[in-house]
Structure 1
Amino acid sequence: MEDENLRKIAELREILEERIKSLEAEIEGLKIILEFVNNLLLEKSFRRVEEITTQKITEKAPTPPAKEPTKVIPLKTSSGELLAYIYVEDKNLRVIPEADKKFDYKTPPFESFLIEKVLTKMREVDQEAVKRSELMPDEALSFNVKLEGDIIREIFIRNVSPQRERELRSAIRWTLEKMYEKTKGA
């Protein structure tokens, strides 16, 4: 009887340790996002106007990738509402919004945060590394946003390092959740 109780307590301890590790990873992701938000607030008055490189498409709904992705990551709100899927293929990420979600690229914080503060900054860092010959030009991060009208159909990000994948996943989820909250409230 006592051995059974000890075994259950040991199992409970393992569950708690795993949960703590999971929460610590989530906190790290939130700290990264908070740093971006703080930088955004500091630089808001010095904001550059940049065009989003977009590609107009005519298809009604995006199709999942033809090539089998390495992994598929669902992005959900904190309340569990499905926002989009990230398809990881080699060093590329394809973000495809859930079919019933209509994310307008003009809705903040898409351009001001995700495009300017996250993706453009990462691209600039890689371009500087290319100039210093630390990175080959075809290894630099690049991205493309596919729209149907003003609605985001796909965000395609090339040359994503494993270190950046987690950061991008957190930033994209946070951005889409904020956009969803704004459109849901409208």
Structure 2
Amino acid sequence: MKFSAEQVKEIAALKESLIEQIDRHQESIEMLEKNITVLDSFLKDSSFTKASQLEIKKEIEIQPEPKKIEKPVKTSIPIKRVNDGKIIANAYVTPEQLSIVLDNEIVINADTPPFKSFFLDRIIGEMKKKDCQEAESGKIQKESIIDYIVNKNGTDIREIIIKNYRQKERVNELINTAGWSLTRMLENIKK
């Protein structure tokens, strides 16, 4: 295959252009490598490790152990009726909340005293009041204030969820007073 003189000139010019581009890129690469060397020495002097070493460490750290993937453990605590010790509810404690789930055989209307007046208003209400004061003074965030949700089946209590209890002492107080309140409520129903 023969090329015309004009085509040979164009091919030679193209080759020359490619060589110039390679030289320019080579100079840029060398400059970038020098910059990396300077940055590495700066990081080394600043007690950091090189990025290449960080990648190796990440690969080692990323290998998860199956135990770390488990869901948070819920501790179940039976709540018993004060007079005969019959289980009337179970308390499930996680780091975020306390759930008091009534036994399926227990039917208690949410309006039965002393649920609202004692358990919700006095016990949880006082804790909430204290948390609000601490939030105003900046000791805790507003999102950390204790709060509750009462899940019902119609008007009957099925579950009481208490969020942001924050202290183990509160869990004990809430479980004990829930047991006492539910026992009194059952007694008031029988009257």
TM-score by length of 1: 0.61
User: Which digits, 9 at most, give the CA deviation of each residue in 1:145-166, with x for residues without a partner?
Assistant: 1112110111100111112111
Show the counterpart of 1:33. Answer: none
RMSD: 1.4
Gaps of 5+ in 2: 1-70
User: Which digits, 9 at most, give the CA deviation of each residue in 1:13-48, with x for residues without a partner?
Assistant: xxxxxxxxxxxxxxxxxxxxxxxxxxxxxxxxxxxx
- Name the SS for the 1:75 alignment partner: strand
Say whether the 8 Å CA contact 1:145–1:154 is kept in structure 2: yes
Show the counterpart of 2:85. Answer: 80
Show the counterpart of 1:180. Answer: 186
Within the candidate set 79, 91, 104, 2:96 is matched to: 91
User: Which digits, 9 at most, give the CA deviation of each residue in 1:95-128, with x for residues without a partner?
Assistant: 1100010011110000110011011111111011
Structure 2 distance, partners of 1:124, 1:69, is 29
Structure 2 distance, partners of 1:152, 1:109, is 13
- Name the SS for the 2:124 alignment partner: helix
Identity, % of aligned positions: 27
Within the candidate set 103, 110, 114, 2:108 is matched to: 103
2:159 aligned partner, one-letter code: E
- Name the SS for the 1:164 alignment partner: helix
Task: Please say if 1:163 is aligned against 2:187.
Answer: no
Structure with the bigger percentage of helix: 2
Structure 2 distance, partners of 1:152, 1:119, is 17
- Name the SS for the 1:154 alignment partner: strand
The Cα shift of 1:69 comes to: 4.1
Show the counterpart of 1:134. Answer: 139
Q: How many residues align?
A: 119
1:172 aligned partner, one-letter code: A
Within the candidate set 153, 157, 164, 1:148 is matched to: 153
Relative CO higher for 1 or 2, CA cutoff 8 Å, sep ≥ 6? 1
Structure 1 distance, partners of 2:159, 2:80, is 17
